[in-house]
Amino acid sequence: MCAGWVIIMSTQGFDFADVDDLYREIILDHYRSPRNQEKLAESDLEAEGMNPFCGDEVVIQIKLVDGLVDAVSFKGNGCSISQASASILTDAIKGKTLDEAEALYFRFRDMMYGKSSSDDDADQLGEVEALAGVKRFPIRVKCALLAWATLEDAIKKHAREAEKKTSDKP
């Protein structure tokens, strides 16, 4: 069956050089050995995120001490980008205030949508910058953003609850 052109195709190698920018070593490392998986016994913030398009799921829990992220955990199911991004997030927000964590999300989101220069990002984002290659694969951007959008949900929910507590006081 149609030999000629096929032989050329069959000898094609699979070096995947092109995807190395997407699947950087740091990402694969976080995917293979996700950090901070231990469920927290008690948490101040918790939110669940889902991407129905591909079935990625993530739950994030945060424990605050003196207004700083003291412990953080995630549990999830999904592609390497969504899960590595969640793992990187948990490391990245430890020791930060919620405002700082939220600012990091905004910066990361801007990077994913191509709204910031990579020089700025390298300084500000730390390990999160490893996800920069994802923006060249637009269909995967929402995989990378899932955990972060979930963090944002958790922060907003926490702020609403705090506001309610204040206004409930006599």
Interface mask toward other proteins for 9-48; x: CB under 8 A:
xx-x-x-x-xx--xx----x--xx----------------
> Which residue in 38, 55, 106, 120 binds other proteins (CB under 8 A)?
55
DSSP 2-35: -HHHHHHHHT-----GGGTTTS-HHHHHHHHS-S
> Which residue in 26, 40, 68, 79 binds other proteins (CB under 8 A)?
79
- The contacts of residue 100 (CB under 8 Å, 6+ apart) are 93
Bridge partners for 74 per DSSP: 60
Residue 86 in contact with other proteins, rule: CB under 8 A: no
Closer to other proteins by Cβ: residue 82 or 93: 82
Closer to other proteins by Cβ: residue 23 or 124: 23
Residue 119 in contact with other proteins, rule: CB under 8 A: no
> Which residue in 64, 116, 137, 153 binds other proteins (CB under 8 A)?
137
- The contacts of residue 54 (CB under 8 Å, 6+ apart) are 78, 79, 82, 143
Tell me the three state secondary structure of residue 15.
Answer: coil
What is the distance between the alpha carbons of residues 89 and 146, in angstroms, rounded to a whole number? Answer: 11
| Chain residues that interact with other proteins, rule: CB under 8 A | 1-2, 5-6, 9-10, 12, 14, 16, 18-19, 22-23, 28, 31-32, 53-57, 77-81, 137, 139-140, 143
